Amino acid sequence: MDTRTLGQGLEVSAIGLGCMGMSHGFGPASDTAEMTTVLRDAVELGVTFFDTAEVYGPFVNEELVGAALAPVRDQVVIATKFGFAFDADGRQTGGLDSTPDHVRAAVDGSLRRLGLDHIDLLYQHRVDPAVPIEEVAGTVQELIAAGKVRHFGLSEAGVDTIRRAHAVQPVTALQSEYSLWWRDLEAEIIPVLDGLGIGLVAFSPLGRGFLTGAITSDTSFDSNDIRTSLPRFAPEARAANQAVVDLLARLGADKGATPGQVALAWLLAQQPWVVPIPGTRRTSRVAENIGAADVELTPADLADLESAIAAVEVVGHRYSEAMEKMIDR
């Protein structure tokens, strides 16, 4: 697979793999042996960029990713995240904590679970309004100097936070949701990233599975699936939003591509420093997703898609009210 360069010269595969759903967020965790196979198959298929976080599980996703990728450690870039608060028993409290001591402890825990001597890319998972971002960036800078971290990233951060953090410790990547049906980054954030030389790692590039066409208004979700709480996945919203999938399918038919591949190809066409990280639990989906890198969208294709998507009104917000409160503005 072709590679792309994020900020600070970090080279990764053009399409990465988001690992959260293997053990968190989308129903019960999958079998460890099966997910180990998927992760190793992904490397064989050309994926070099893998995304996890301490909160996924919590903790078990890092253990899975670390053990699965240990034999190929020198071939891959592993990203993880800190920033959520936990109680003394390791249970997530629902709050945020980016105090220096917590960041240091989180990094040590991630290193242990991942079985690494350094983290390639360390993100602040959510901006903590109680801790100045300069203090967070400074703490990560110390961890970089100590050799525990190579690159600093932010997730779901706003323009002011990005600028202030970058002034202390150069930011390699911003990870935020970005797809054909969530484009709020385009007005202000993407121009700032471009100007500062920061890469964009797009999570949920397939709209949490919806843009693949595999989800309809009749699809039922497990009670532990986060999509049960998201307005965009209410049955009536899914019915209305099917128009987006139909649009992707029409263009894909002309290209010999699936709707999901068109959605990923559109992202790749936006900027050379945009790297989507679709998640999956199946090797066949990994292969399909990375096939998007071979789907060529001409300027005319992109213009037609832009015009068509502008006529579709996407129904439902992407986050619940509680999740929205944690987004930096």
CB 136 within 8 A of CB 165: yes
Measured between alpha carbons, how far is residue 126 from residues 144, 172, 248, 258 in Å?
20, 16, 31, 33
Question: Which DSSP symbol is given to 281?
Answer: S
For strands 3-5 and 17-18, give the pairing: unpaired
Alpha carbons 15 and 49: distance in angstroms, whole number: 8
Would you call 178 a catalytic residue per the annotation? no
Instruction: Please list the helix, strand and coil fractions of the chain in percent, rounded to the nearest 5, in that order.
Output: 45, 20, 35
Count CA atoms closer than 13 A to 321's CA, side-chain side.
0
Candidates 293, 294, 288, 284; CA nearest to 41 is 284
Residue from 56, 123, 178, 319 carrying the catalytic annotation: 56
Question: Which DSSP symbol is given to 239?
Answer: H
CB 198 within 8 A of CB 7: yes
What would the two tokens of residue 41 be? 């198959």
Amino acid present at 160: D
What would the two tokens of residue 176 be? 């935020």
Non-local (6+) Cβ contacts of 311 within 8 A are none
Work out the number of other CB atoms within 10 angstroms of the CB of residue 10.
20
Q: Which helix (H) or strand (E) holds 81?
A: strand 77-82
Catalytic residues: 56
